[in-house]
């Protein structure tokens, strides 16, 4: 019963065992919810959605800020530690949600399409002619209801994903705007405006409704009302792990999928048949694993595990891309940060504000504004953005060469994963590489679908990524220092970043265990040197300690014209198999300079149309 439970029509693996459906969708995250919703608009077809997690809709999972913290929402969040030999053997935390809605149940709700130049690069440079800006733009519009920009013709107003720009919750925002302008950045209130400049300081859209509640993919596309209204032809089966695909090796046609209860230790499997198509939407980590378990993947790897080869495909699980982030932080007054919620009175007040009015700090994302820039257009001597670079314009967002390669997210709290800093209140300048060169991969460790994969994270594995990261960090330090001089009425020194006491940081991050009798070092009080005074070595040393994933995993089953180089064609059909498509973040040919939820939904929207078109013709 609300608010503690839900009468969502969730089915179990046993309920669907032995049944046949027109379409079987594997994974109910951002992509899976879009696809199940769009395909089930037609009441004459039957659609089955198979999701590993559950609905678990509760009060905390609806509160925007609190639901970003998995401990609060109670959702199943997988935490995977990846060993990083390239960086002091640190363990990198990767996580994602297993729930109806996938990671959109815990994400920061930021809705960014990416600049048109990203998609023009897919079409012009990678040859994917059907995926240029002109082709993808209508699908971004179709899914959104941009209530924050009611008159904008370039935004959608009839889709299910409501987006707003909640009031800025803190007093520092105008001063950041001043600092950004001083660094040469234009200020825009919509980063999804295709006419906005490629580089700038942008206010962000957040997927939050007018009552201050999170709009996840589940809420937008497969709400309880939708699921109940469509029970005759839409089945949502939760708590189910898809172990592998059933493919006829002679005809190369997909027949169905093998499934089991989530977390089950025995080998007992259930089976569902697909009359028309199976669509994989298990995400950039999950989808390649299902393919490999089914015999589609790199030959050597499948042979090592004794998996019979159905389709050799060297790109499956390769080319893993992700955005890489390094925090630099300024000390600011507690009331200007999320740290203020550590005070129980403030927390209770904010909770009541949300509960009765849908307003206040809890009704927003942790991030309200950001900066996108191109490092080649940042002048080394002044650390300011130029409007042209080598005689070429650097602002036209349609041009692939102008796509931003860095983002500086503005986050009013400390931003080291797994570490809570309670002794200072911090404002983070999160320096993020959004067009990295590095690539990683995903491999199975066993054939058991419940066993975790081995993830070789791309993070700074390619030396070419260090140069833009150094520039991003210097640029963010310059921004932080300009902010402190902008008229902001409080001291705001940069205290965490290159040039800080690394021994203190090592203790803080837990790399260095304290010896008996050794004093805990205090820190976070000394102001950092100016951006001009930090050496490359100091930046690299800091980066190796403080870097983290921005959790935008992508490209592990990339789209390509060529089967030897990719996994799906331009209509998202898996090369060599009939009736199998992929529609999640794994198919991006290259990661966009954007937070990846909206681009993933765009891909899934297109996939639904490809499928409808295919079967209309038949
Ligand atoms: C903490 C966090 C914050 C983020 N913040 C933002 C943000 O603010 N803005 C933004 O644009 N993006 C953000 N992202 C990224 C964004 O949420 C993802 O890009 C998006 O959810 C990817 O969608 P997807 O459908 O590819 O995968 P997911 O949403 O991960 O969905 C995959 C689903 O498949 C299911 N699944 C996997 N394997 C199986 C199996 N074998 N059987 C059955 N089901 C299976 C999983 O349980 C999951 O529900 C964030 C991500 C995280 C983790």
Give me the DSSP letters along 549-564.
Answer: E-S--B-TT-B-S-TT
Task: Output phi, psi for 324, to 5 deg.
Answer: -110, 135
Handedness of CA 446, 447, 452, 456 (dihedral sign): positive
Dihedral angle, C-alpha 180, 459, 464, 284, nearest 10 °: -90
Strand 187-188 to 200-203 pairing: parallel
- In this structure, the residues whose C-beta lies within 6 A of any atom of ligand 1 are 26-32, 50-53, 95-96, 98-99, 102-104, 106-110, 112, 241-242, 281-284, 286, 290, 449, 551-552, 584-585, 595-598, 600
Mutate to test the pocket of ligand 1, among 31, 597, 602 (most ligand atoms within 8 A of CB): 597
Same domain, 424 and 288: no
- How far apart are the C-alpha atoms of 156 and 137, rounded to whole Å? 10
Measured by CA distance, the residue closest to atom 21 of ligand 1 is: 103
State the burial class of residue 177 (Cβ atoms within 10 Å of its Cβ: 0-12, 13-18, 19+). middle
Which H or E run contains 539?
helix 536-546
User: Are 301 and 332 contained in the same domain?
Assistant: no
CATH no. for residue 182? 3.30.410.40
Ligand 1 mean position, distance from CA 218 (Å) = 12
Quick check: 268 pLDDT over 90?
no
**Omega prior to 291 cis, within 30 of 0:** no
Predicted confidence (pLDDT) per residue in 517-551, tens digit:
666 666 667 899 999 999 999 999 999 999 999 99
Q: Based on the fold, state whether residues 445 and 536 are members of the same structural domain.
A: no
Query: What is the rounded average pLDDT of the residues 379-404?
Result: 95
Q: Which is higher by pLDDT, 414 or 114? A: 114
242 is in an annotated binding site: yes
Ligand 1 atom closest to the Cα of residue 108 is 8
Backbone angles phi, psi at 53, to 5 degrees: -90, -165
Contact 22, 286 (CB under 8 A): no
Print the domain residue range for 182: 166-203+324-435+460-546
Q: Is the per-residue pLDDT at 109 higher than 90?
A: yes
Please say whether the beta carbons of 379 and 338 come within 8 A.
no
| 537 alpha carbon – ligand 1 mean position (Å) | 35
Last residue of a domain, one of 546, 561, 580: 546
Q: Write down the pLDDT at residue 364.
A: 96
Q: Which of 522, 546, 570 is the last residue of a domain?
A: 546
**pLDDT tens digits for range 481-509:** 999 999 999 999 999 999 998 888 888 88
Place of tokens 């994974």: 27
Best residue among 100, 242, 285, 286 to mutate for probing ligand 1, ranked by most atoms within 8 Å of CB:
286
Domain boundary among 491, 511, 546: 546
> Above 0.90 for ipTM, yes or no?
yes
User: Rg of the chain over CA atoms, in angstroms?
Assistant: 24
Q: What is the pLDDT of residue 2?
A: 43
Judge whether 243 and 269 are in contact, CB under 8 Å: yes
Ligand 1 atom 9: residue of nearest CA = 110
CA of 513 to the centre of ligand 1 (A): 34
Contacts of 587 (CB under 8 A, 6+ apart): 555, 557, 558, 559, 567, 568, 572, 603
Number of separate domains in the chain: 2
Residue having the nearest C-alpha atom to atom 4 of ligand 1: 107
Judged against a pLDDT cut of 50, whether residue 1 lies above it is answered with: no
What is the percentage of the chain residues whose pLDDT exceeds 70? 97
Q: Could you confirm whether 552 is annotated as catalytic?
A: yes
Q: Are residues 414 and 353 in the same domain?
A: yes
Ligand 1 mutation target, pool 103, 260, 587, 602, most atoms within 8 A of CB:
103
Q: Is there a single domain that holds both residue 338 and residue 248? A: no
Closest C-alpha residue for ligand 1 atom 2? 107
């Amino acid at each position: 019963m609300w608010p503690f439970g839900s009468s969502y029509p969730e089915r179990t693996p046993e309920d669907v065992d032995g049944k046949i459906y027109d379409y079987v969708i594997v994974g109910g995250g951002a992509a899976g919810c879009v696809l199940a919703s769009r395909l089930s608009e037609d009441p004459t077809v039957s659609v089955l959605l198979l999701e590993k997690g559950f609905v678990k809709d509760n009060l905390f999972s609806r509160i925007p800020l609190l639901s970003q913290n998995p401990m609060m929402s109670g959702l199943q969040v997988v935490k995977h530690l990846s060993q990083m030999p390239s960086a002091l053997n640190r363990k990198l935390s990767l996580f994602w949600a297993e729930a109806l809605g996938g990671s959109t149940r815990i994400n920061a709700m930021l809705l960014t399409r990416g600049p048109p130049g990203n998609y023009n690069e897919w079409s012009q440079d990678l040859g994917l002619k059907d995926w240029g800006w002109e082709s993808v733009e209508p699908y971004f519009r179709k899914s959104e209801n941009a209530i924050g920009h009611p008159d904008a013709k370039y935004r959608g107003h009839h889709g299910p994903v409501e987006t707003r720009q909640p009031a800025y919750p803190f007093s520092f925002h105008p001063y950041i705007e001043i600092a950004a302008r001083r660094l040469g950045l234009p200020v825009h209130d919509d980063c999804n405006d295709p006419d906005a400049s490629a580089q700038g300081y942008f206010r962000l859209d957040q997927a939050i409704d007018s009552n201050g509640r999170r709009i996840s993919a589940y809420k937008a596309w497969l709400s309880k009302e939708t699921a109940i209204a469509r029970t005759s032809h839409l089945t949502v089966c939760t708590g189910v792990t898809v172990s592998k695909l059933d493919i006829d090796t002679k005809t190369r046609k997909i027949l169905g999928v093998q499934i089991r209860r989530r977390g089950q230790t025995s080998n007992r499997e259930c089976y569902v048949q697909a009359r028309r198509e199976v669509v994989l939407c298990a995400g950039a980590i999950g989808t390649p694993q299902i393919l490999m378990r089914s015999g589609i993947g790199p030959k050597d790897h499948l042979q090592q595990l004794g998996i019979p080869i159905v389709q050799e495909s060297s790109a499956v699980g390769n080319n893993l891309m992700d955005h890489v982030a390094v925090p630099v932080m300024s000390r600011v007054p507690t009331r200007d940060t999320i740290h203020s919620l550590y005070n129980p009175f403030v927390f209770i007040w904010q909770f009541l504000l949300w509960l009765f009015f849908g307003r206040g700090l809890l009704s927003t994302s942790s991030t309200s504004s950001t900066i996108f820039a191109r490092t080649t257009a940042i002048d080394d001597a002044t650390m300011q953005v130029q409007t042209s670079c080598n005689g070429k314009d650097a602002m036209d967002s349609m041009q692939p060469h102008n796509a931003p390669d860095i983002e500086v997210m503005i986050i009013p709290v400390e931003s080291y994963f797994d570490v809570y800093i309670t002794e200072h209140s911090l404002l983070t300048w999160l320096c993020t590489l959004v067009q990295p060169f590095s690539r990683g991969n995903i491999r199975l460790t066993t054939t058991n679908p419940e066993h975790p994969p081995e993830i070789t994270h791309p993070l700074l594995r390619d030396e070419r990524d260090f140069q833009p990261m150094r520039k991003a960090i210097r640029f963010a330090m310059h921004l932080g220092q300009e902010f402190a001089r902008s008229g902001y009425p409080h001291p705001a020194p940069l205290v965490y970043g290159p040039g800080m006491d690394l021994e203190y940081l090592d203790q803080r991050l837990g790399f260095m265990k304290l010896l008996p009798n050794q004093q805990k070092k205090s820190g976070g009080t000394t102001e950092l040197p100016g951006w001009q005074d930090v050496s490359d070595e100091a930046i690299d040393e800091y980066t190796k300690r403080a870097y983290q994933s921005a959790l935008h995993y992508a490209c592990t089953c990339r789209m390509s014209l060529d089967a030897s180089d990719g996994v799906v064609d331009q209509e998202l059909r898996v090369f060599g198999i009939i009736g199998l498509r992929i529609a999640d973040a794994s198919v991006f040919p290259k990661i966009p300079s954007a937070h990846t939820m909206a681009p993933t939904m765009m891909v899934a929207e297109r996939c639904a149309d490809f499928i409808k078109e295919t079967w209309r013709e038949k």
